[in-house]
Amino acid sequence: MKLRKARVQRKGRIEIIPMIDVMFFLLATFMLASLSMQHLDALKVNLPQGKAEQLTAAKPATLTITADGKILVNRTPVTLTTLAATLKPLINGSEKDVVVSADDKAPQGIVVRAMLQARAAGAVHFLIAVAHE
């Protein structure tokens, strides 16, 4: 007489397809979350094209120059004469970086004069915002 085993032992399997789906979902979630965490106080301007490193400063002051030559510091309209006084309190301690977000059509003279006024306010490094190619 032949005796059979009551229960056949099956080895466990790791299903790889659901694990890949979960990893892609987590990747997409973290990418979207990191994009929403990036915050610059700049207006939407047509930036010049170029390749640049990612922004390293935590929350630098933003100097925006529009196509018609208007100057804004963190969305606050200023003039060339009041730029240094407005920017000075925003540049404190070791954070002496200023993001320059100038429109592609902005007059070069105004951009340079605004950067010189920011330098007079205490800015040390200028981070130029560009649109990725």
Residues 44-95 pLDDT 10s: 666 666 665 665 546 778 889 998 889 998 888 899 889 888 888 888 766 7
Integer Cα distance of 130 and 45 in angstroms? 10
Q: Is the pTM of this model over 0.75?
A: no
Report the chain's C-alpha Rg in angstroms: 27
Strands 76-78 and 71-73: what pairing? Answer: antiparallel
Tens digit of each residue's pLDDT (9 = 90 or more) over 83-105 = 888 888 888 766 778 888 888 88
Q: Which two tokens stand for residue 83?
A: 């730029």
Tens digit of each residue's pLDDT (9 = 90 or more) over 112-125 = 889 999 988 888 88
* Residue 118, C-beta contacts closer than 8 angstroms, at least 6 positions apart: 63, 83, 84, 87, 98, 100, 126
- The CATH fold assigned to 49-132 is Nucleotidyltransferase; domain 5 (3.30.420)
Per the CB < 8 A criterion, the answer to whether 55 and 128 are in contact is no
CA angle 110, 113, 118 (to 5 degrees): 125
Bridge partners, 65 (sequence order): 71, 102
Bridge partners, 125 (sequence order): 97
The reported pLDDT for the residue numbered 62 is 86
